[in-house]
Chain A
Amino acid sequence: MGINPLKENILSRMEWPGSAHQLALFRILLGLQIFYSSSTRLFQLSAYVQVEAGTHNIFPDFLNQFITATAVPYWQWLTLALSIFLVLGLLTKYMLPLLFVAFLFLFSFYYARHNAPIPWLYIWFPLLLLNFTRCNDVLSLDALFRLQKPLTNLTSSTYRWPLEGVAGWLAYIYVTAGLAKLLPIYKGWNWLKGGTTQEIMYNRYLDSVYFYLFERPLFDYTTHHWVFAVLSIASILIELTCIMILLTHRFNGLVLVLVVGMHFFLYFAGVMGFLQLMLVLSISLIQPGFFNRLFKEGTQTS
């Protein structure tokens, strides 16, 4: 059967059947990721070293000063505590807005001192989205204690649209990353020639998982420039391929394998910060039918 973007695009898919368990699983994984990202002692190191990255955010000065004074002693612990509530699905609808604010404040502190906005970029929008969902209908203490009554139909589209939103966010991150490498044109040409890739792999070799495991370079990183050109072109193609997520769901599996493969390679080459976050968001690329079969989902009878 042919692809029909008019019927299969991301907006249309939001009205298709979903999976309450898929959404709940995403809530749990996102909560675990927020706990992991927020538990880093980097906050203590940044507060101690006091080096600014020269980045700017949308907050007024007085708020930034307040965040700087309170991030480590208060917001970090609050974010950690609330992320546990998210994982457990306890008092979810009251806790989620608080967690969103705490996360935003804490990672604003992070971003001001560490100009790589990796966890912030991947997490903030999906976390905001969860505020408007029924992500605690199943696999939650809210459901167990009957604080939240699930819908009768656990495959309702109510559970679908949030995950399509996350998939759209994932597409946005990667397509814009691909475009950012190509624009402006002179910068894009440098990227396509492989120079940036070569520089990263060369400079980070002694700090790479590949070195820690194998202790010898795979080949001479100072030559074989074509290898780096191929890797650079492949990375852009993979990132731009993510636009397919917006048009049809049929290539989600391929996109998932390509992006995970890219991050797995980067992880080995010494660029380690992305793989785990991508895996959390990639739950949205799996078809709800898989979870429906896994949890034998359907119309709830009790």
Chain B
Amino acid sequence: MYQLKYYYWQNGQYKILDLRKEGNFFLADHFGLGYAENFMFSAAYRYRGEKKNFDFLSALMKQRGIDTLWVGIHAVNFETGEVSFDPDICRAIQMNVTAQLYYGPIYIPDYQISKCHGH
């Protein structure tokens, strides 16, 4: 099973922005009170295809010192129990178009598409 999620680079390592985790006050890495479960549900699922949703999230992350969000592939192999994350920006773009995704395609920023196409 695959999911496309936003992530960012920090100290040479990718970090997944797990939106629904951020809706849990005790598990959140970036957000606190005011960003409850229902906010994260909408941001992660319902509005995931909207540019404005990305802009809103991106602005919030900039306030927290994260300049650029990318889209990568979070995957679980239920047979083996292994969970992996692929930060390849081009594979994420391809999967966003071709795969059947829960709540549909995610919004991918133009700079990711440009970088993938080598512009």
Contacts and interface: CB of A to CB of B under 8 A. Distances in A.
Interface in B21-61: 21, 23-24, 27, 33-39, 41-44, 46-47, 50, 52-53, 55-56
B42 A114 contact: yes
A81 interface: no
A254 interface: no
Nearest to A50: B52
A118 B38 CA distance: 9
Contacts of A222: 78-79
A273 interface: yes
B36 A40 contact: yes
Interface residues of A, number: 36
Contact of A49 (B33, B52, B81, B83): B52
Contact of B39 (A42, A202, A204, A220): A42
Contacts, number: 96
A205 B81 CA distance: 11
Contact of B38 (A40, A44, A209): A40
Interface residues of B, number: 36
Interface string B79-93: 101110000000000
A143 interface: no
Nearest to A36: B36
Interface string A89-106: 000000000000000000
Interface stretch (A127-135, A188-196, A211-219): A211-219
Interface of B: 1, 3, 5, 18-21, 23-24, 27, 33-39, 41-44, 46-47, 50, 52-53, 55-56, 74, 76, 78-79, 81-83, 102
Interface of A: 36-37, 39-42, 44-46, 48-51, 114, 116, 118-119, 202-209, 211-212, 215-217, 220-222, 270, 272-273
